[in-house]
A and B are shown apart, each in its own frame.
Chain A
Amino acid sequence: MGRFWSLLFLMVPIVGVLVFVWAMAGWPGMVNHWLPENIGGNEAIWIDRLFLFILGLTGVIFIATGVVFFWFLWAYDAEKTTQPVKYFHGSHTLEVVWSIIPAATLLFIAIFQMKVWANAKLERPQVDGLPKAPIAEITGRQFEWRIRYAGKDGIVGTQDDILKVNDLHLPINEDVVLLIKSQDVLHSFFLPHVRVKQDVVPGMQQFVWFKANRTGKYDIVCAELCGWGHYKMRGRMTLQKRADFDKWLEQAWQEQEVSSFAPSAGE
């Protein structure tokens, strides 16, 4: 039976790798089971690259340890082996080697990714040496995203703001800054297609930024448990060319002005 069990453990790296290959390569007639389409700029691309780099690295270790594990089980099965047990308590040299190599690798990843992290979370895009103003303010509320666009003056919180719920329109090919906050509980503002995720904390104001390079409609997901309706807190992000976005914004302003909807009602 030792042979059978050894092979069972060999199936772990084999099937594991096949599952990932299947997911990455796609199956004819099936929808992609891999990272969702990446329409983001530099930060988003680097997040995917880091993911794939770590996947490659851990994949190699996974296969190597899995095969070694199998081989030891196969070769040293008590029913089959005729060699005496190697009475052996360890090796100082080996311990040092297999401590230093992973330590160096992990330190390399740690330092290598700091720039990506800083781009995504610390270095807000700038205009003329000043942090870029948010194009809209998004407030999480059980169970919807309330969106307040800066309007013509480019400043959030003034008379010409445009109010929408769950309907986020943004221009492509430029750095977009969003101010996010919550009025009740924790939410998490997750845009899978541009690799943006940030918990929205009541009492705090935070900024997220990204640059999208494709038009289309995409999901805004809430990724932090916010109550029973958490699952239905779905927003829509419509990415447009700058001209179309300006046109939409103008139209939205007109609709808001002619309708009886007063901005204070949104509060």
Chain B
Amino acid sequence: MSTTAIQPHGGHDTHAPGMSVGQFISTYVFSLDHKIIGLQFLFSTLLWFLVGGLLALGIRWQLAYPWQDMPVIGRMLFSAEGGQISPEFYTTLFTMHATVMIFFVIIPILAGAFGNYLIPLMIGADDMAFPTLNMLSYWFMWPAFILIGMSFLFPPYGAGGGWTSYPPLSVVWDAAPGSHWPQSLWLLGVTFVGVSSMMGSVNYMTTIIQMRAPGLTMFRLPLTIWAMFITAILQAFALPVLTAAGFMQLTDRLIGTGFFLPDGLVVNNSAPATGGGQPLLWQHLFWFYSHPAVYIMILPAMGMVSDIISCFARKPIFGYKPMVYSISGIAGLGFIVWGHHMFVSGMNPILGMTFMVSTMMIALPSAVKVFNWLGTIWGGKIQFTTPMLFALSFVSMFIIGGLSGIFMAATPVDIFIHDTYFIVAHFHYVLFAGTAMAVFGSIYFWYPKMFGRMMDENLGKVHFFLTFLFLNGTFFTMHILGAVGFPRRLADPYDYDTFRHLLPMNRFMTWCAIGMVATQVIFAFNFIKSMFFGQVVGRNPWGANSLEWAAPSPPGHGNFDFQPIVYRGPYEYGSPEVDTDFYPQTQPPPADPARRYKAPDHH
């Protein structure tokens, strides 16, 4: 193994014992090091994850015990209403729950935390291509955090136009209580998230193209990196549309342009002055970003899950190249399916047919991925570690989320299930049971690299087991609610005869949701405890192949203490060429030709 030390490049400060305040700030606060930035993203997003989860409990409380005082915290939060959730506040609960989870948790934890932490390590680079830009991408999240946080300070305490922010509700000042200042702050906050993601995306693309270690061809990249790469491309093409649309909505709200307001509106018995626009234009622009964003929220998870499954099945990933092509296929199709959010929006129904066909076709690469994961565990030696359990549950849950998507793609069926809990079930299976479980798995998997210590496996398994039970209890039942036609976003659905009998089922779901949030205490405890008391490990505790495991745990500045040279792909588990069941990418082939085995030409 080569041990040539790499000189840290100019932008870095060196770690030194007894550092000054200035050094501390430059090392841990305004750090240029991708690992610190990754961890900053990780801690921030985990805190917002807690906020988003508590907002969800507010929604669930109202659906289980409508207009009943919330025990304990109700009186503190809503003293005016005597501790019950007002209908105004209910609209802000689901708006802010979605906003926080999508813009502050899932996107930044995948791209910001794992993207930053893993990309340079997994490609054998010493840092990102643009470390300063990288630092800015984290610090541009703070205006977003502050603006969205401030929106909680103005009545009715958060934006209330839905996370989709459909005009005219979100534009006309008096259309809804939640569309006063909170809505403007919301739009600005989302814009800053976009700026942050954009900075990340150019950095990831450049880094992956330019800074791979010698021998690391594109088709030797781990699928995590492929997924991050394609995701960065998606962000680069889709985000400017949302940013532009967000600004158009902001000018509609604040300076009286009329992009999204038609003539002749009469809202709250007064007529807004502006007109000549079209509410559907917003929906097209919004979903042109937000549908690809669905894949921004799942592709990196798919990549990380592939790496974890291959590692703990101790077997090469099944169909590496088809996996890469299916990631690309999902991303490509992702740009031409946005209209499936608009089948009943008033968009020309003929256009609905085209979107229906492209939407149906996107199920195809998703199916290919599931089959390849099944192929990967077939014939392996499966180790049921905590990261593996979370990764397996991703596959199991993604099957449900993927299959329920076919119902929505079918336009006539969508007429009935659109805006019902069937949709809510679908995207929670994709985004919580899928992505969030993959994120948990990835935290358990890369934790030893990040902190040089293991997380507690027993606590991890209890965390997995309870989360798995409660999430299915919460979200699987939503399919049934959707079949009855139970609409989303109603503060009191029991006003309708059709839905009155669904109250007991909602109570069941609410208690499962409470259980699910409570279970996360185990995770938080394990995460913090392990930082100080976890078992200390070496470079490669899992016996994994990819490059990050060749670096020290945790890696110092410049990541590697030798120049990594890559000899093979990252999935050479169980190779007959060597005696161990793994074969790191950096390990040179055996010197003795007699021991060499001619592997089938697969790459």
Q: Say whether B215 faces chain A, with CB atoms less than 8 Å apart.
A: no
Q: B320 contacts which chain A residues (CB < 8 A)?
A: 89-90
Q: List B residues 405-421 near A (Cβ within 8 Å).
A: 406-407, 410-413, 415-420
CB pair A54–B350 under 8 Å, yes or no, is no
Residue of A nearest to B416 (CB): A195
Which of B44-52, B202-210, B496-504 lies at the binding interface?
Answer: B496-504
Q: A117 contacts which chain B residues (CB < 8 A)?
A: 349, 352-353, 356, 411-412
Q: Say whether A35 faces chain B, with CB atoms less than 8 Å apart.
A: yes
CB pair A228–B88 under 8 Å, yes or no, is yes
Contact A85:B374 (CB < 8 A) given known A183-B266, A184-B265: no
Q: Which of A30, A31, A68, A186 contacts B169 (CB 8 A)?
A: A186
Which of A104-112, A129-137, A248-256 lies at the binding interface?
Answer: A104-112
Contact A19:B477 (CB < 8 A) given known A90-B602, A203-B279: yes
Q: Mark A119-137, 1 if CB is under 8 A from B, else 0.
A: 0111000000000000000
CB distance from B403 to the nearest CB of A (A): 4
Q: List A residues 218-232 near B (Cβ within 8 Å).
A: 218-219, 221-232
CB pair B498–A219 under 8 Å, yes or no, is yes
Q: Say whether A8 faces chain B, with CB atoms less than 8 Å apart.
A: yes
Q: Say whether A155 faces chain B, with CB atoms less than 8 Å apart.
A: no
CB pair A231–B377 under 8 Å, yes or no, is no
A103 vs B407: C-alpha distance when bound (angstroms): 16
Q: List B residues 330-385 near A (Cβ within 8 Å).
A: 344-346, 349-350, 352-353, 356-357, 360-361, 363-364, 367-368, 370-372, 374-375, 377-384
Size band of the interface chain A makes with B: 35 or more
Contact A98:B313 (CB < 8 A) given known A192-B498, A232-B495: no
Pick from A89, A98, A103 the residue with the most CB of B within 10 Å: A89
CB pair B169–A226 under 8 Å, yes or no, is yes
Q: B156 contacts which chain A residues (CB < 8 A)?
A: 228
CB pair B363–A102 under 8 Å, yes or no, is yes
Q: Say whether B242 faces chain A, with CB atoms less than 8 Å apart.
A: no
Q: Mark A26-67, 1 if CB is under 8 A from B, else 0.
A: 000011111110000001001100110011011001100110
CB distance from B423 to the nearest CB of A (A): 11
Q: Mark A226-259, 1 if CB is under 8 A from B, else 0.
A: 1111111010000000000000000000000000
A76 vs B573: C-alpha distance when bound (angstroms): 15
CB distance from A11 to the nearest CB of B (A): 9
- Report the interface size for chain B: residues with CB under 8 A from the other chain: 120
Q: Say whether A265 faces chain B, with CB atoms less than 8 Å apart.
A: no
CB pair A47–B485 under 8 Å, yes or no, is no
Q: Mark B291-323, 1 if CB is under 8 A from A, else 0.
A: 000000000000000000000011111111110
CB distance from B462 to the nearest CB of A (A): 12
A33 vs B505: C-alpha distance when bound (angstroms): 10
A226 vs B162: C-alpha distance when bound (angstroms): 10
CB pair B501–A184 under 8 Å, yes or no, is no
Contact A88:B262 (CB < 8 A) given known A33-B505, A58-B406, A65-B374: no
CB pair A232–B573 under 8 Å, yes or no, is no
Q: A188 contacts which chain B residues (CB < 8 A)?
A: 344, 419
Contact A99:B360 (CB < 8 A) given known A113-B412, A122-B350, A219-B498: no
A196 vs B472: C-alpha distance when bound (angstroms): 30
Q: B345 contacts which chain A residues (CB < 8 A)?
A: 199, 201
CB pair A223–B487 under 8 Å, yes or no, is yes
Q: A50 contacts which chain B residues (CB < 8 A)?
A: 410, 412-413
Q: A204 contacts which chain B residues (CB < 8 A)?
A: 262, 280, 346
A113 vs B407: C-alpha distance when bound (angstroms): 12
CB distance from B167 to the nearest CB of A (A): 8
Contact A110:B360 (CB < 8 A) given known A86-B379, A228-B160: yes
Q: Which of A98, A113, A142, A199 contacts B410 (CB 8 A)?
A: A113
Pick from A32, A51, A84, A95 the residue with the most CB of B within 10 Å: A95
Q: Say whether B254 faces chain A, with CB atoms less than 8 Å apart.
A: no
Q: Say whether B278 faces chain A, with CB atoms less than 8 Å apart.
A: yes
CB pair A190–B375 under 8 Å, yes or no, is no
Q: Mark A69-103, 1 if CB is under 8 A from B, else 0.
A: 10011001110010111111111001100110011
Listed from nearest, the 8 A-B pairs whose CB atoms lie closest are: A203-B262, A86-B379, A85-B574, A90-B319, A89-B602, A121-B349, A31-B501, A192-B485
Cross-chain pairs A/B with CB under 8 angstroms, 29 sampled: A1-B461, A9-B392, A12-B396, A15-B476, A16-B476, A33-B480, A51-B416, A55-B407, A73-B382, A77-B382, A87-B315, A89-B320, A99-B368, A102-B364, A102-B367, A183-B265, A185-B168, A188-B419, A192-B416, A199-B345, A199-B346, A200-B346, A201-B346, A203-B263, A225-B162, A225-B169, A230-B490, A231-B493, A234-B496
Interface residues of A (CB under 8 A from B): 1-2, 5, 8-9, 12, 15-16, 19-20, 23, 30-36, 43, 46-47, 50-51, 54-55, 57-58, 61-62, 65-66, 68-69, 72-73, 76-78, 81, 83-91, 94-95, 98-99, 102-103, 106-107, 109-110, 113-114, 116-118, 120-122, 142, 183-186, 188, 190, 192-193, 195-204, 206, 218-219, 221-232, 234
5 more A-B residue pairs beyond the given contacts A20-B480, A221-B496, A231-B495, with a C-beta to C-beta distance below 8 A:
A1-B384, A89-B319, A113-B410, A113-B411, A228-B91
Interface residues of B (CB under 8 A from A): 86-88, 90-91, 156, 160-162, 166, 168-169, 172, 175-178, 262-268, 278-280, 313-322, 344-346, 349-350, 352-353, 356-357, 360-361, 363-364, 367-368, 370-372, 374-375, 377-384, 389, 392-393, 395-396, 399-400, 403-404, 406-407, 410-413, 415-420, 461, 465, 468, 472, 476-477, 479-480, 483-485, 487-493, 495-498, 501-502, 505, 571, 573-576, 581, 600, 602-603
